[in-house]
Amino acid sequence: MRSGQALEWREMASPTLPKKSSRPEPYTRVAQNADGKLPRSQVGTNPQHLLITLLGDYWYGRTEHLPSAALVELLAEFDISQPSARAAMNRLTKRGLLLSSKRGRNTYCGVNPASLPLLKGTFSRVVAFGTHESRAWDGKWTMVAFSIPETQRQLRHAVRTNLRWLGYAALYDGLWCSPWDDQDTVLAKLSELDVGSATVVRAAVDPRSTLQPLSGWDLDALRHKYIEFEKEFSPILEDARRGALTASQALVNRTKVMDSWRNFIGLEPDLPAELLPQDWPRSRMRALCFELHDSLAPVAQARCQQILAKYSPELAALVTHQTAADLVR
């Protein structure tokens, strides 16, 4: 990447599958002086992920600053300690996603307007994932081949992480594939990254090939991930249907199910139904996710308002919730 470039590229989160080595993480461009670096995925609860999800669910599109103490108390619902909560806010501020301010002795925190396109795009993609099973597939593959010198390791990593975020998988080290026809998107990304040697083609693969493009995805590991998701959240959905969750539990589980669903984006690109085994669990898991997410919305919003009202009744009145349909729009 050229030095002095006005716009920088930073990492976004992408999960890993058990069978694969560490998955790359996508880079996204935001306005100058805003790093836009979303937090890395990690095992266990990630305060930065939770805070971003909370702001997306209840402060969507707003840039008014919220009392930091209120955000600390919101994260405490997830058993996040005060030091960890404040550290998360500081890190998100350093990445340019949030801005901080002071009013007297009190500190406030709000979404950086420059990062709104990144955040909105991310949330829209999360809720749209799993909706393309009826999308027609022409049987062809988009292939991206590139060659980057060993001296440009950072660029090589950037290309791989961006391709993964766009839904590509590595068939060979320098050959990546996707079933969908998005040549304009991938060519624009390669150009933005200053890749000098790259070829993009859309073609059918000879069935006599000893390695087919679908092998780039570990379907057994993917199915296992979906079943783990079902085992965790199906009992919670049953409790929600019975009205057996407290307001605090509604807030916590609504955020957790969205955070968990987001992980699947980096694992598969809404693979066409023609390529998948029968009874593939993706659409069933999506239905589970968003029934839980949407049904808990009013109670979770009320809990969020209850906490924020201790610090600012005026701001608490501005809290809203977003359904899956809202976020897709």
pLDDT band, very low/low/confident/very high, at 132 (cuts 50, 70, 90):
confident
pLDDT band, very low/low/confident/very high, at 120 (cuts 50, 70, 90):
confident
pLDDT of residue 172: 93
pLDDT band, very low/low/confident/very high, at 280 (cuts 50, 70, 90):
very high
Q: What is the pLDDT of residues 216-268, one digit of tens each?
A: 999 999 999 999 999 999 999 999 999 999 999 999 999 999 989 988 887 88
Residue 149 C-alpha from the chain's centroid: 30
Q: How many CB atoms lie under 10 A from the CB of residue 63?
A: 13
Please state the rounded mean pLDDT for residues 201-218: 96
What average pLDDT is seen over the chain? 86
As a whole number of angstroms, the distance between CA 179 and CA 163 comes to 13
pLDDT band, very low/low/confident/very high, at 92 (cuts 50, 70, 90):
very high
Q: What is the pLDDT of residues 137-182, one digit of tens each?
A: 999 999 999 999 989 999 999 999 889 888 899 999 899 999 999 9
Please state the rounded mean pLDDT for residues 92-97: 94
pLDDT of residue 135: 81
pLDDT band, very low/low/confident/very high, at 25 (cuts 50, 70, 90):
very low
pLDDT of residue 12: 36
**Which residue intervals of the chain are DSSP H helices?**
47-58, 68-76, 82-94, 116-128, 153-165, 183-192, 219-241, 247-262, 282-295, 297-309, 313-316, 324-328
Please state the rounded mean pLDDT for residues 192-197: 93
pTM: 0.79
